[in-house]
Amino acid sequence: MSDPDGSKTQNMGRRVLEDTMGATIGAAVGAGLSTLVAFAVPLIVPIVPLGLLGGSIVGLLIKELSQKAREKEQVSSATRP
Amino acid sequence: MEWMKLIPWLFYNVVLSLLIPVAVVQGISWLLSKPNSSPPRNTLSLFGIIKDGQVFFYCTALAAVAVGDLRRVPIGFDTTLWVMGLVVIMILSTVCFAVGANNKDLVEEAKFGWTSVAMATAAILVVMMFRTKAGLL
């Protein structure tokens, strides 16, 4: 658990920050789209909280996948001769 | 006209409690700005005002008040998914604020600002729809 220069902690902080931002923006998009649907089509199922939950999960996944891809790219560029 | 009931709710919960405070801060900042002085004192930007995560407090409060009003929901109205949505808003906004406050050096003003705006939009939409559907406007 040694992290003398604090880079690991900083990377973790950045990762969590990016993930929460992705989840939040996804939640807003999901809630917005589902609100439009709820106004357009009268549904019995509460679609807005479902849109919020789905949007936040999709946003989180997109951010996480893009971070993974970026990390992979960094590793491959560092190991390239 | 169901949507007519939304106007007073939006006025008290969005205009008075979110938009006017931000507008007043920007107005005061504009009054105090001295662009020709040395060093120049510029007007604060919108994201400069909300960069510390104040909007996340608003989102948490909005969702928490809606959770508090659950006991007023008519019998037979299924609140399960709404409670989940409101709890997600509270968790997301609290985590966003906590992460932003603990990593001030990593926070980009524009990104964090847009996240605040997105969180506020999501919270307002979910709470507004919950109140509309539950008849709590």
Q: Which two tokens stand for residue B14?
A: 């969005």
* Average pLDDT score over residue span B61-84: 93
Instruction: For residue A42, give the chain B residue with the closest CA.
Output: B133
Q: Please give the pLDDT value at position A81.
A: 67
Alpha-carbon gap, residue B14 to B24, rounded angstroms? 14
pLDDT band for A50, please (50, 70, 90 cuts). very high
**Domain span at B45:** 2-134
Contact between B134 and B73 under an 8 Å Cβ cutoff? The reply is: yes
Q: What is the pLDDT of residues B14-72, one digit of tens each?
A: 999 999 999 999 999 999 988 888 788 888 888 888 888 889 999 999 999 999 999 99
Lookup result for tokens 């507008």? B23
User: For all residues of chain A together, what is the average pLDDT?
Assistant: 86
Say what the alpha-carbon torsion angle B38, B39, B44, B47 is, to the nearest 10 degrees: 150
Contact B85 A56 (CB under 8 A): no
Q: Please give the pLDDT value at position B20.
A: 95
Residue A53, chain B, CB below 8 Å: the answer is yes
pLDDT band for A25, please (50, 70, 90 cuts). very high
Contact between B30 and B54 under an 8 Å Cβ cutoff? The reply is: no
Give residue ranges of B with CB < 8 Å to any A CB: 78, 81-82, 84-86, 88-89, 92-93, 95-96, 99-100, 102-103, 106-107, 111-112, 114-115, 117-119, 121-122, 125-126, 129-130, 133
Contact B99 A35 (CB under 8 A): no
Split into its structural domains, chain B has a count of: 1
How is residue B105 annotated by DSSP?
A: T
Residue A50, chain B, CB below 8 Å: the answer is yes
The percent of residues above 90 in pLDDT, for chain A, comes to 43
Contact B106 A50 (CB under 8 A): no
Contact B115 A21 (CB under 8 A): yes
Q: Please give the pLDDT value at position B40.
A: 84
The percent of residues above 90 in pLDDT, for chain B, comes to 59
How far away is chain A from the Cα of B106, in angstroms, using its nearest Cα? 7
Alpha-carbon gap, residue B89 to B105, rounded angstroms? 25
Instruction: For residue B114, give the chain A residue with the closest CA.
Output: A25
How far, CA to CA in Å, does B111 sit from each of A15, A41, A43, B25, B118?
A: 14, 33, 35, 21, 10
Contact between B94 and B63 under an 8 Å Cβ cutoff? The reply is: no
Contact B129 A17 (CB under 8 A): no
Alpha-carbon gap, residue B56 to A56, rounded angstroms? 16
Alpha-carbon gap, residue B42 to B35, rounded angstroms? 6
This prediction has a pTM of 0.89
Residue environment code for B89-128, b if the CB has 16+ CB neighbours within 10 A, otherwise e: bbebbbbbbebbeebeebbeeebbbbbbbbbbbbbbbbbb
Q: Which two tokens stand for residue A7?
A: 């880079």
